[in-house]
Chain A
Amino acid sequence: MFRRLPETTGATVTVSIDGANVEVRAGDTVAAALLAAGVHQYRASAVSGAPRAPYCMMGVCFECLVTVDGVGNRQGCLIPVREGMRIETQRGKREASR
């Protein structure tokens, strides 16, 4: 769905997305990196289980919630990617224990 502009260049870092290692562009947010990597469902909503993806990309809508390094319900659009970061998409409610 999303493609990078052809003039985009720059360093990359490696993160894991649902257990698979993926090279993403340094400086991207988690939400942007997931979109560029072709992830279209970030979570299933907490009550109805509806598929959700980012809407505002600026910290307001809380649709891009993912688990980052074991902490649930992080706003992916506000967190820059880091080498070795573990990103997991979510199914339903945040797990109470993480």
Chain B
Amino acid sequence: MTLSSKEYDIAIVGGGLLGAAIGYGLARLRQRVALLDDSDAAVRASRANFALVWVQSKGFGYTPYAYWTVRSSNAWAEFSALLREETGLDVAFQRPGGFHLALSEDELERRAAYINQLHGQSPDFPYHVEILDRSQVAAMLPEIGPDVVGGSYCELDGHCNSLRLYRALIKATAKHGGKYLASNRVEGIAYENRAFRISTSAGEIHAGKVVLAAGNANMHLAPMVGLEAPMRPERGQIMVTERVTPFLHYPVVTIRQTDEGTVMIGDSKEEGTTPDGLTLPINAVMASRAVRMFPLLGRLNVVRMWAGVRVMTADGFPIYDQSESCPGAFVACCHSGVTLAANHALTLAPMIAAGQLDAEVVGPFSARRFHVPKAA
């Protein structure tokens, strides 16, 4: 069959990190992919990400998510090597292990209780988090301030350069013939003759399959193809310092030093869907906690601050689902688009290419879980 310029095997709705990771995974399997993105003015979760490839705390209350996260963490080294081979770009993936730091005995006790409960969820819980006292933390993070009483450490935690990750995914997708189509905001999706007709702000696209990867907008797009994606967006803020010589050799969940020397500080979780504007009292708390953790940060200039919206499903865990009424339609929603990028490209994309999600692997992330009666 010859395809016209507007016909694709698979259209991915959403050109952020999630859509690009799935798009790359499909394009390398010789699928003809269109990555439909909104304009630069769109609200984008990928813009506000913190670039952690993070494990500790993941799956609290839902062990399948812990397994899924560990799987991606373990696939990341191969994934980053693959991206380098495809694009020549180094996404600066490192997995030295990472920390949560406690600034009082009370915080440390609460963290220890949380980790205890996490480990106790399942006899074969897939990762281990250690609680460390101040001297153990100081041996690895010599720049901690006097207020740090201890912390938790997980050797599977890491981070990357997420700007370069995004660039690499787009470049690798294009290398395999995938098309990134900016300013194609999807307004409607119709299922006709076992294919999808997608209306965008720039025209019409036809595809044999469609993958919804549009962050919080999935909530409105999913019902168009017989799917659902209950969401509750969450606001977060980030500040970043000037570049300095390396001093922080392990990422902390709220503070990390990037491969190019800047220090990112991001500590806020706020209700709300508008990314616009900063909330200075919240920034002040973020900065104050960061300086108590690492006093040398107090001397550094902050060069930028911004706010963004996280993609949060109703229960905080990913949704991967396929439509029964419109076969060929898939939905993917997750908060951790960086951590899970390896899974999305290497595990999820092949399932979508085959037309069937593997219930053994992603069954626990079907949106059907939202229909289980609360009493069950």
Residues of A within 8 A of B (CB): 46-47, 71-73, 92-98
Contacts and interface: CB of A to CB of B under 8 A. Distances in A.
A97 B300 CA distance: 10
| Chain A to chain B: the 7 pairs with minimum beta-carbon distance, closest first | A96-B247, A46-B243, A96-B244, A93-B261, A93-B243, A94-B244, A93-B245
A59 to B, nearest CB: 13
Interface in B247-289: 247, 260-261
Given A93-B244, A94-B245, 13 more contacts: A46-B243, A46-B260, A47-B260, A47-B261, A73-B242, A73-B301, A92-B245, A94-B244, A95-B244, A95-B245, A96-B143, A96-B296, A97-B296
Contacts of A95: 244-245
A5 to B, nearest CB: 34
Nearest to A47: B260
Nearest to A71: B299
B250 to A, nearest CB: 15
B96 interface: no
Interface of B: 143, 242-247, 260-261, 296, 299-301
Contacts of B296: 96-97
A93 B301 CA distance: 13
Contacts, number: 33
A92 B296 CA distance: 18
B20 to A, nearest CB: 24
B370 to A, nearest CB: 46
B143 to A, nearest CB: 8
B247 A94 contact: no
B247 A97 contact: yes
Contacts of A93: 243-245, 261
A9 to B, nearest CB: 36
Given A71-B299, A73-B301, A94 B260 contact: no
Nearest to B297: A96
Contacts of B242: 46, 73, 94
Contact of B246 (A72, A73, A96, A98): A96
Contacts of B143: 96
A97 B125 CA distance: 40
Contacts of B301: 73
A98 B299 CA distance: 8
A38 B245 CA distance: 28
Contacts of A72: 244
B261 A46 contact: yes
B258 to A, nearest CB: 10
Nearest to A98: B299
Contacts of A71: 299
A65 B161 CA distance: 25
Q: Kindly name the residue among A92, A95, A96 whose own CB sees the greatest number of chain B CB atoms within 10 A.
A: A96
A70 to B, nearest CB: 10
A96 B261 CA distance: 9
Contacts of B261: 46-47, 93
7 contacts: A46-B242, A46-B260, A47-B260, A96-B246, A96-B247, A97-B247, A98-B299
